[in-house]
Amino acid sequence: MMAPIRLGVIGAGSAVWSIRLVGDLCVTKDLWGSTVVLMDIDKRRLGIIYELAKRYAKETGAEFKFVATDNREEALRDADFVINAALAGGHHNYELQREVAEKHGYYRGIDAVDHNMVSDYHVFGGYNQFKLFTDILLDMERLCPDAWLINIANPLLELCTLGTRVSKIKIIGLCHGHLLYRDLASTLGLDYRRVTFEAPGLNHCIWLTDFRYDGENAYPLIDEWVEKYAEEYWKGWEPEFWDTQMSPAAVDMYQRYGLFPIGDTTRSGGWKYHYNLETKKRWYGRLGGFDSEIGWQTYLSYLQKRIERLEEIASDPQKSITEEVPPVLSDESVVPVINSINSDKEAIYQVNVPNNGVIPGIPHNVVVEVPAVVSAKGARPVQVTPLSKRVMEMVIKLRIFRMELGLEAFLTGDKDVLIEELLSDPRTKSPEQAEAVLKAIMSLEFNRGMAEHYGKKGRELAL
Amino acid sequence: MMAPIRLGVIGAGSAVWSIRLVGDLCVTKDLWGSTVVLMDIDKRRLGIIYELAKRYAKETGAEFKFVATDNREEALRDADFVINAALAGGHHNYELQREVAEKHGYYRGIDAVDHNMVSDYHVFGGYNQFKLFTDILLDMERLCPDAWLINIANPLLELCTLGTRVSKIKIIGLCHGHLLYRDLASTLGLDYRRVTFEAPGLNHCIWLTDFRYDGENAYPLIDEWVEKYAEEYWKGWEPEFWDTQMSPAAVDMYQRYGLFPIGDTTRSGGWKYHYNLETKKRWYGRLGGFDSEIGWQTYLSYLQKRIERLEEIASDPQKSITEEVPPVLSDESVVPVINSINSDKEAIYQVNVPNNGVIPGIPHNVVVEVPAVVSAKGARPVQVTPLSKRVMEMVIKLRIFRMELGLEAFLTGDKDVLIEELLSDPRTKSPEQAEAVLKAIMSLEFNRGMAEHYGKKGRELAL
pLDDT tens digits along B87-111: 999 999 999 999 999 999 999 999 9
In a domain, A180, yes or no: no
Q: Among partner residues B285, B397, B463, which is closest to A397 by beta-carbon distance?
A: B397
Contact A404 B397 (CB under 8 A): yes
Our CA angle for B101, B106, B112, nearest 5°, is 100
In a domain, B288, yes or no: no
- B 60-119 residues inside an 8 A Cβ radius of A: 114
In a domain, A71, yes or no: no
* pLDDT attached to residue B253: 97
- Tell me which chain B residues have a C-beta less than 8 angstroms from the C-beta of A426: 423-429
- The DSSP annotation for B282-304 comes to HHH-TT--TTSHHHHHHHHHHHH
Contact B397 A394 (CB under 8 A): no
* C-alpha distance from residue B269 to each of B114, B251, B253, B450 (Å): 6, 11, 7, 28
Secondary structure class of B322 (helix, strand, coil) = helix
Contact A431 B400 (CB under 8 A): no
Q: How many domains does chain A have?
A: 1
Q: What is the largest CA-CA distance in chain A?
A: 74
Which residue range forms the structural domain that includes residue A444?
A: 400-453
Nearest CA to B88 among B62, B112, B120? B120
- B 119-178 residues inside an 8 A Cβ radius of A: none
In this structure, the strands spanning B35-39 and B367-375 are: unpaired
Q: B463 CB near a chain A CB, below 8 Å?
A: yes
How many percent of chain B have pLDDT more than 90?
A: 95
- Tell me which chain A residues have a C-beta less than 8 angstroms from the C-beta of B430: 275
* pLDDT attached to residue A94: 97
* pLDDT attached to residue B236: 87
Provide mean pLDDT across the span B243-265.
97
User: CA-nearest residue of chain B to A238?
Assistant: B463
> Measured in Å, how far apart are chain B's first and last C-alpha atoms?
68
Count residue pairs from A and B with Cβ separation < 8 A: 115
In a domain, B413, yes or no: yes
- CB-based contact B385:B210 (threshold 8 Å): yes
d(CA B355, CA A44): 58
User: CA-nearest residue of chain B to A226?
Assistant: B461
- Tell me which chain A residues have a C-beta less than 8 angstroms from the C-beta of B423: 114, 270-272, 426
How many percent of chain B have pLDDT more than 70?
A: 98
Secondary structure class of B19 (helix, strand, coil) = helix
Contact A270 B424 (CB under 8 A): yes
d(CA B426, CA A382): 39
* pLDDT attached to residue B456: 72
In a domain, B445, yes or no: yes
> Could you tell me the pLDDT band of residue B221, with boundaries at 50, 70 and 90?
very high
> Could you tell me the pLDDT band of residue B461, with boundaries at 50, 70 and 90?
very low
Give the mutation candidate from B255, B284, B398 for the A interface (greatest A CB count, under 10 A).
B398
* pLDDT attached to residue B460: 39
- CB-based contact B64:B50 (threshold 8 Å): no
- CB-based contact A130:A157 (threshold 8 Å): no
pLDDT tens string, chain A, 463 residues long: the values are 468 999 999 999 998 999 999 999 999 999 999 999 999 999 999 999 999 999 999 999 999 999 999 999 999 999 999 999 999 999 999 999 999 999 999 999 999 999 999 999 999 999 999 999 999 999 999 999 999 999 999 999 999 999 999 999 999 999 999 999 999 999 999 999 999 999 999 999 999 999 999 999 999 999 999 999 999 999 989 999 999 999 999 999 999 999 999 999 999 999 999 999 999 999 999 999 999 999 999 999 999 999 999 999 999 999 999 999 999 999 999 999 999 999 999 999 999 999 999 999 999 999 999 999 999 999 999 999 999 999 999 999 999 999 999 999 999 999 999 999 999 898 998 889 999 999 999 999 999 999 999 997 544 333 3
Q: A274 CB near a chain B CB, below 8 Å?
A: no
Secondary structure class of B351 (helix, strand, coil) = strand
- A 354-413 residues inside an 8 A Cβ radius of B: 361, 363, 389-390, 393-394, 397-398, 400-401, 404-405, 408
Tell me how close the Cα of A57 comes to any Cα of chain B, in angstroms: 48
Q: Among partner residues A251, A252, A401, which is closest to B401 by beta-carbon distance?
A: A401
- Tell me which chain A residues have a C-beta less than 8 angstroms from the C-beta of B365: none
Lowest mean pLDDT among A456-460, B129-133, B248-252: A456-460
d(CA A133, CA A114): 25
Secondary structure class of B208 (helix, strand, coil) = strand
* pLDDT attached to residue B23: 98
- Tell me which chain A residues have a C-beta less than 8 angstroms from the C-beta of B417: 394
Q: A226 CB near a chain B CB, below 8 Å?
A: no
| 3-state helix, strand and coil shares in percent for chain B, rounded to the nearest 5 | 50, 15, 35
In a domain, A418, yes or no: yes
Tell me how close the Cα of B371 comes to any Cα of chain A, in angstroms: 25
Tell me how close the Cα of A272 comes to any Cα of chain B, in angstroms: 7
In a domain, A406, yes or no: yes
In a domain, A434, yes or no: yes
- Tell me which chain A residues have a C-beta less than 8 angstroms from the C-beta of B429: 426, 429
Contact B401 A393 (CB under 8 A): yes
* pLDDT attached to residue A220: 98
- CB-based contact B428:A224 (threshold 8 Å): no
Looking at residue A282, its amino acid is R
- CB-based contact B143:B73 (threshold 8 Å): yes
Give catalytic residue positions of A. Answer: 176, 264
| Residue B201 pLDDT > 50 | yes
Tell me how close the Cα of B263 comes to any Cα of chain A, in angstroms: 20
* pLDDT attached to residue A457: 56
Contact A397 B394 (CB under 8 A): no
Q: Among partner residues A251, A398, A429, which is closest to B461 by beta-carbon distance?
A: A251
d(CA A193, CA A209): 18
Give catalytic residue positions of B. Answer: 176, 264
- Tell me which chain A residues have a C-beta less than 8 angstroms from the C-beta of B461: 248, 251-252
- Tell me which chain A residues have a C-beta less than 8 angstroms from the C-beta of B162: none
* pLDDT attached to residue B457: 56
Count of alpha carbons within 13 Å of B55, Cβ hemisphere only? 23
Give the mutation candidate from B116, B287, B393, B402 for the A interface (greatest A CB count, under 10 A).
B393
* pLDDT attached to residue A261: 98
Burial code (b: 16+ CB inside 10 Å, e: under 16) for A87-119 equals bbbbbebbbbbbebbeebebbbbbbbbbbbbbb
- Tell me which chain A residues have a C-beta less than 8 angstroms from the C-beta of B418: none
